Amino acid sequence: MTQPGYVFIVGSSRTGTSVLRSTLNCSDDVAICNETHFFGGPTTAANLLRNILGDSGKVAQWGETLLLRRLATPGLWQKLAEVGDISTDVGAKKIVDTIYDSCGRWAPERVGREDFLRRLLASDRSERSLFDLCMTLYANGKPIRGEKTPAHVHYVPTLLEWFPNAKIIHTFRDPRTIFVLKKREPHVQQSYTRRYRLFQRSTAIFELYLSLDVIITWLRVVQLHHQYQQRCPGRYYLLKSEDLVSDPRAYLKRLCDFLEIDFTEGMLQRAVQDPDFRPCAQVQDSGASASTTDCWRGHLHPVTNRWFVWLCRKHLVEFGYPLW
């Protein structure tokens, strides 16, 4: 293995991507910027279709370009392309203004918009160049730059094609823990769809809706893991959040070996202190089990657990998660 020039953190939401980013950023060699949602992501319907069809020739027969691309939420790049044509000076300026005025935390913090525009105009003005420019400016001289957007787990082949010396870290977690963490999120968030907020008003309907969403997405991510494990040896690393919680020193050292960077005590402190990365500590405070592999206990109705086990049994066993 060789030290990567880029590192991308991907995975399902609520699997510890944010804390892993801040943990790795403790290194003098690594600077991973926050979520860009550059490529968008597939909808639950698209994930369900992929679960059924897999990634064989059947997908092409169903018209992947027409169907699956329509079943996707637009990414930042698609939204910026509607603002202006990056190949023209006027269009590039509109895109930069939009990034700084409307994209919030994604705008580079260490450089003014005029400098950003100057560097963009000097590039080949491609999608890749824009993405790379933002990561480079955020890195501020650190040799390894990167980005973390959980939904980019669906675009790993594109990331590796664009950045041949990149490595991928895929954070992973028991789907029941993901469900519990999502269920405990605030009921009113602007990013939620109207349908999502409507379903929250009925506990039974919301549990069914949310559990299906988590299960369908998790099963698709498992499919992708098997693909990447075979196709990207040495460039792809699966990190179970439960493992990092149970023995942070050992698993952080293994991750640093994969990235060929030095392990520091600052990384360990960052990973251990963050409460969101240790949901078991939160569960323990309420009197439930403190086991790192069953954080969902005490927060999941037995019927809901049976639902998860019925649909995910094979892969729960595969990844060492308890069934009951």
Q: What is the pLDDT of residues 174-214, one digit of tens each?
A: 999 999 988 877 654 445 566 655 665 556 778 888 999 99
Lowest-confidence region among 30-44, 84-98, 104-118, 151-165: 104-118
Q: Which residue range(s) make up the domain with 317?
A: 1-22+144-181+209-324
Does residue 229 form part of some domain?
Answer: yes
Does residue 123 form part of some domain?
Answer: no
Phi and psi, residue 36, nearest 5°? -110, -25
CB atoms within 10 A of CB 125: 17
The CATH number covering residue 293 comes to 3.40.50.300
Does residue 215 form part of some domain?
Answer: yes
One-letter amino acid for residue 31 of the chain:
A
Does residue 84 form part of some domain?
Answer: no
Predicted confidence band of residue 172 (pLDDT cuts 50, 70, 90): very high
Mean pLDDT calculated for residue range 45-52:
81
Identify whether the C-beta of residue 318 lies closer than 8 Å to the C-beta of residue 223: no
As a whole number of angstroms, the distance between CA 253 and CA 85 comes to 44
In the predicted structure, residue 33 carries a pLDDT above the cut 60: yes
* Region class of 260: left (phi > 0), else alpha (psi between -120 and 50), else beta: left
**For position 132, what pLDDT does the model report?**
94
Identify whether the C-beta of residue 175 lies closer than 8 Å to the C-beta of residue 47: no
Q: Could you report the per-residue pLDDT of 249-294, keeping only the tens digit for each? A: 999 999 999 999 999 988 987 766 655 555 544 433 333 333 556 7
As a whole number of angstroms, the distance between CA 218 and CA 150 comes to 12
For residue 153 the two structure tokens come to 């787990």
Which of 45, 106, 110, 49 shows the shortest CA–CA distance to 80?
106
pTM: 0.87
Does residue 292 form part of some domain?
Answer: yes
In the predicted structure, residue 99 carries a pLDDT above the cut 50: yes
